[in-house]
Amino acid sequence: MPVNTRVKTAKGRKVGSTKWLQRQLNDPYVKKAKAEGYRSRAAYKLIELDEKFGLLRGAQAVVDLGIAPGGWSQVVRKKAPRAAVVGIDFLPVDPLDGVTILHMDFTDEDADARLKEALGGPADLVLSDMAANTVGHPQTDHLRTMGLVELGLEFAKDVLKPGGAYVAKVLAGGTDNQLLAELKKHFATVKHAKPPASRKDSSEWYVIAQGFKGRREEAEPEAA
């Protein structure tokens, strides 16, 4: 039995597309996802992060930012079957049992309110596997991704219970100093991790902020 499946460069298919297809066909996580009924190989990133950090232990309410195609929420439903799960994405997502899905962009002005309404109370965990569309310019791509991480953090600070956690995708190098300081201000521990399911040639890492300290007033009162 051959170890690798080779893909012929079909007429009209770009070399890059052929390489991507060949990588997919030979990816053990892709094969495992199909065998175990997960919608994407990304499910194993959350499984591995949960095994290391205990993210879903006792979770009763979870928000999935950038839910498409639904692999992370499938993991949540499997590991925390009684948890309320709300997801959001502007991409189409097939329905998932026990998951409320909002088909809209998280950057929309009313996204926060819609998510909070669907959640109906505080959350134990906010997950963000959101990724900005890359333009091929490392500094620009980093800034766009960090912008999503910051938006997710602001939302997490509004909805998390004390002791809750925020997990977000970042690029190689992790969070910048300002964002890292903000995370440490609001969470007891902040760590970076690259789960084994993340491809070695991928620049993605995840920031794991646990032990939310609770909401606090950001602004100092004005002097009289």
Q: Is 50 annotated among the ligand-binding residues?
A: no
Q: Is 97 annotated among the ligand-binding residues?
A: no
Q: Which residues constitute the domain of residue 160?
A: 40-212
Query: Does residue 70 contact residue 94 with C-beta atoms inside 8 Å?
Result: yes
Q: Give pLDDT, residue 216.
A: 67
pLDDT by residue (tens digit) across 21-78? 445 445 788 889 898 889 999 999 999 999 999 999 999 999 999 999 999 999 999 9
Check if 169 is active-site. Answer: yes
Is residue 141 a part of any domain in this protein?
yes
Is residue 21 a part of any domain in this protein?
no
Indicate the number of domains in the chain: 1
Give me the residue label for tokens 């509004």: 158
Q: Is 205 annotated among the ligand-binding residues?
A: no
Is residue 221 a part of any domain in this protein?
no
pLDDT by residue (tens digit) across 139-164? 777 778 889 999 999 999 999 999 99
Q: Is 129 annotated among the ligand-binding residues?
A: yes
Is residue 223 a part of any domain in this protein?
no
Is residue 156 a part of any domain in this protein?
yes
**CATH at 62:** 3.40.50.150
CA distance 204 to 172: 6
- pTM, 2 dp: 0.83
Q: Give pLDDT, residue 203.
A: 82
CA distance 118 to 115: 5
Tell me which of 45, 157, 169, 194 is the catalytic residue. Answer: 169
Is residue 35 a part of any domain in this protein?
no
Is residue 78 a part of any domain in this protein?
yes
